Structure 1
Amino acid sequence: MQHLKTPTQLAKRFFGISAAIWITIEVKALKDKPLDFVPVCRDRSDVLVLQFCKDLQQNNSTKRSTFRTKMNIGKAYSAVNISNGTDLAIGFTSSAVAVLLFGTNFVPVKKFDTGDGMFFQWILCASIWIVSLVVNLIQNCPRFWPLAMVGGFVWATGNVTVVTIIKTIGLALGLLIWASFNLLTGWASSRFGWFGIDPEEVSRPILNYVGAGLSLISAVIFLFIKTEVQSSSASLESTPLLRESSINDSEDTTEDSWVNKLSPVKKRLIGCSLAVVAGILYGSSFIPVLYIKDHGRRNETIYTGASQFDLDYVFAHFSGIFLTSTIYFLIYCAVKKNKPYVYPQAILPGFVSGVLWAIANCCWFLANHYLSAVVSFPIITAGPGLVAAMWGVLVFKEIKGRS
C-alpha cells in the first residue's frame, strides 16, 4: 500500500498547484484581451476582418459618421468576436483531448513487458508515423517542409533518454523534472521569441511571469527530492501508468547493467541531467513549425506563403520522429551485435499507445493554432500527470490512503 505523503508525491502536488494557477491566469488573460489583439489571428480571413475594422475606425475619425459606417463596424467586430469564441472553444477542447490522451496512452502497455524500451519506442514511433500519414491525406497532402522534421528529431532524441532516466532516478521523479522543463521551455520560447520565432504578447505579463516563476521553483525543488529506484520485482509506480519493471531490468538478470555499477551520486547526477535535457528537447520540438509559420507571413523568405494551419506540418514532424527513432534503433542493434531485446507481446499494445499519443499531439498542434503556444503549453504539460494519477487511483488501485 502506498501513501500520499512521500516527498515525490508532495512535489507533484506543488507542481500541479503551480501549473493550475498558471493555467487560470492564462485563461483569464485570454478573456481580458483587448479586441484589437487576437492571439489566434493566424488565418488570412481573421487578419482581413481586423484590418477592415481598423480602416473603418480611421475613416470614421476623419469623416462624419454615418449610420451605415457604424453598422459596418458593428458587423465586423461581431464577426471577430464570434470567430474568437469559436477558436477558443476549439482550442480548449483540443487541449482537453490532448491532456486526456497523453495521460492515457501508456495504459495499453501497462500489463506487458517492454524490455529495455528501445524496441518499444520504435514500434511506438512507427504507429505515430502511420497516424500522420492519415492526417496528411485528410489535409490533401500539403507542402512538405523538411525543417519541420527537425522538431521530430528533437522530440525523438529526448524520448530515447527516458529509459536511462527511469533506471537512475525512477519514472515518478523523472516525469516531474522533464514535465517542468518541457513547460518552461515551451512557454519561454514562445513568450520571448527564441530561435527566430515571433514572440507572443500577453495582456498581463506580470501574472504570466508569476506563473512561470512558480513552475521554475517547483522544477528546482524536484532536483533535490531523494528517491529509491526499485528493482524489477518492486511494486508499481504510484502515478505514472508505465511500470518501471516493464522497461528497465528485464535484461539485467543475465548481464549487469552499466547503470547498476554507478554510485548513487552519479546515478542521481546523470538521471537529473538527462531529465532536464529531455524536458528542454520536448519543449523545443514545436519551434521549427512555429518558425516556418512566422516566416511564412513575411516577404522575401524561403517560407513565404507557408500554411498557417498547424496540422499541415504534422506529417513532416512525425516523419522526423519515425526516421530518428529508426536510426537510434539501428544503432542500438549494432551495439547489441544484432541481438536486440525484442518483445513480441509489446507490439500491439505499443502500436495502440502510439496511436493515442499521435492523436494527442495532433490536438496539441490544434491548440497551438487556436490558443497560441504560450497558452497551450502550461495546460497540456501539466494535465496528463493528473489523468495518469486518476487511472492509478480509480482503475489500477495503485494509490491508496492510509489504512
Structure 2
Amino acid sequence: MESWQENHSSVSSNATELAIGFTSSAVAVFLFGTNFVPVKKFETGDGMFFQWILCATIWIVALIVNLIQNCPKFWSLAMVGGFLWATGNITVVPIVKTIGLGLGLLIWASFNLLTGWASSRFGWFGIDPEEVAKPILNYVGAGLSVVSTILFLFVKTDVQNSSSSSESEPLLREHAINTSERRAETRSDVSWVDNLSPLGKRVIGCSLAVIAGILYGSSFVPVLYIKDHGRRNGTMYTGASQFDLDYVFAHFSGIFLTSTTYFLIYCAVMKNRPKIYPQVILPGFVSGVLWAIASCCWFLANRYLSAVVSFPIITAGPGFIAAMWGVLVFKEIKGLKNYVLLLLAFCVILAGSLSTAFSKV
C-alpha cells in the first residue's frame, strides 16, 4: 500500500512538473513571438535608444522577480549570459528594418535552436551533456531545423511597402505620433539601414539574424554551467541553486549593464548627439515587459523540462506567431509561393522540434 502511494505521488509530481514546464513554454512562445509587435509601427531609427529602453525595462522586471525570490545569491558568471544576449539584441532593429519581423525572427530562432540544442546535447563550454533516450531522433530533429532555416531564406518580404501602407496606424496610439510633424521628422531622420539597396538589406539582415541566433543560443550556458558545477564537490559553485529562476536577476543585470555600455559608446561615437525617439519609450517598455516575462517562463521550462527539450519548443514556436503577425497585420509576406514556402518551413521546423523533444522521452 505504501509502495503504491509513493509511486502515485511520484507520478503526480512528474505530471505537475510537466504541466508547469509545457505551460511555461506555451506562454514563452506566444510572448516571444509578440514582444516586438508594440514597437513595430514606431520609428526607432538605428535602434540603439530603443534597445536601451527595452533592457532597462527587463532589469526592472528582474528586480521584482528577485524580491519575490527573496534575493537568492548573486552569481556574477550568470551576467555573461546577459552580455551575450544584449550583444545579439542590438542587431534586432536593423534586422526588422531590412528583412522584416517574421523572416528575421524565424532565422535567428533557428540558429538559436541549433546553438542551444548542441551546447546542451554535447556539453559544450564545460556544461554537462544532456543524455537522451533516442539519440537518432535527436539528430534528425536538429537536421530538420537546419533544413527549415534554408527554406526561410527563400521567403521574400516586402518591408518597405508594409511601412508605407500600414504604419500610419500604430497599435499603441499616441496623438503626438500621428501628426504631420512626426511624418516630416521620419522622412528627414533616416538611419544607415534606409540607405541600403534591396540586395544589401537582405544580405545584412540575414547575416545579422544568424549572428543574433548564435549569441541568443549561448546565453543560457553560464547558468547551466553554474548549476552543473553546483552539484559537484570542491568547486567555487558547490551548493549553487538548482532552481533556474534564482539566476534571473544576475542574467538580466548583465543585459542591462551591457546595453548601457553599448548605448554610452554609441553616444560618444555620435559626439553626444544620439538619435532619441521619445515616442518609442512606451512601446519599448511594453516590449521589454513581454520579453522579460517570456524569458522567466523559459527559465522555468529549463527547470522542469531540461534545456534539450525546452530549446526546440521555445525557439521554434515564436516563428509561427511572428510570421502570423507579418502576414495578417504588417503584410510583409505576400504571394502564394511565399505562403507555400512558409507552410513547408513551419511543417519542417515543427517536425524537427517534436523529434528533438520526444528523443528525451
**What range is the shorter-chain TM-score in?**
0.7 to 0.9
Indicate which of 105, 125, 143 corresponds to 1:175.
Answer: 105
* Structure 2 counterpart of 1:331, one-letter code: I
* Other-structure match for 2:341: none
Aligned length: 323
Match of 1:96 in 2: 26
8 Å CA contact 1:232–1:250 kept in 2: the answer is: no
Query: How much does 1:87 deviate?
Result: 0.5
C-alpha contact 2:45 2:190 (8 A) present in aligned 1: no
1:151 paired to 2:85: no
The one-character-per-residue Cα deviations of 1:214-244 (angstroms, maximum 9, x if unpaired) are: 111121333455656527853459xxx99xx
Paired AA for residue 220 in structure 1: I
Map 1:160-199 → 2, pairs under 5 A: 160-199=90-129
Q: CA deviation at 1:369?
A: 0.3
Matches within 5 A, 1:77-226: 77-223=7-153
Query: For residues 127 and 137 of structure 1, what CA distance do their matches in structure 2 show?
Result: 16
Q: 1:215 to 1:358 in 2, by over 3 A?
A: same
In structure 1, stretches of 5+ residues that fail to align are 1-70, 243-248
2:164 aligned partner, one-letter code: A
What corresponds to 2:252 in structure 1? 318
Rounded Cα–Cα distance in structure 1 between residues aligned with 2:266 and 2:324:
35
TM superposition outliers: structure 1 runs of 4+ over 6 Å: 249-252, 399-402
Seq. identity, %: 79
Counterpart residue type for residue 236 of structure 2: I
Q: Which stretch shows the higher mean deviation, 174-183 or 363-372?
A: 174-183
Q: 2:103, 2:323 within 8 Å by CA — same for their partners in 1?
A: no
Cα distance in 2 for residues equivalent to 1:341 and 1:284: 30
1:330 matches 2:260 = no
Distance change (3 Å), C-alpha of 1:146 and 1:309: same
**Cα-Cα RMSD:** 3.0
1:257/1:100 Cα in 2 relative to 1: closer, same or farther (>3 Å)? Answer: closer
Cα distance between partner residues in 1 of 2:133 and 2:313:
18
What is aligned with 1:230? 160
Q: Distance in 2 between matches of 1:351 and 1:91?
A: 27
Change in 2 beyond 3 A, CA 1:375/1:400? same
Superposition deviation, residue 261 in structure 1: 5.8
Residue 349 of structure 1 pairs with residue 279 of structure 2: no
* Map 1:253-332 → 2, pairs under 5 A: 253-254=187-188, 257-259=191-193, 267-332=201-266
Instruction: Provide Cα deviations, 1:255-305, integer angstroms capped at 9, x if missing partner.
Output: 775456656655544332221111000111111001100100000000000
Contact kept? 1:181, 1:279, Cα under 8 Å: yes
SS in 1 for 2:233: coil
- 1:375-390 residue pairs with structure 2 within 5 A? 375-390=309-324
- Per-residue CA deviation, residues 175-204 of structure 1 (Å, 9 max, x unaligned), is 221111011111111111111111112222
Matched residue type, 1:323: L
Partners of 1:98 and 1:330 in 2: CA distance: 31
Q: Which amino acid counterpart does residue 131 of structure 1 have in structure 2?
A: V
CA shift, 1:78, in A, is 2.9
Q: Secondary structure at the match of 2:81?
A: helix
For residues 260 and 317 of structure 1, the distance between their equivalents in structure 2, rounded to whole angstroms, comes to 33
User: Which structure has the larger Rg over C-alpha atoms?
Assistant: 1
SS of equivalent to 1:103: helix
Contact 1:155 1:282 in 2 (8 A): yes
Unaligned stretches of 5+ in structure 2?
A: 173-182, 337-361
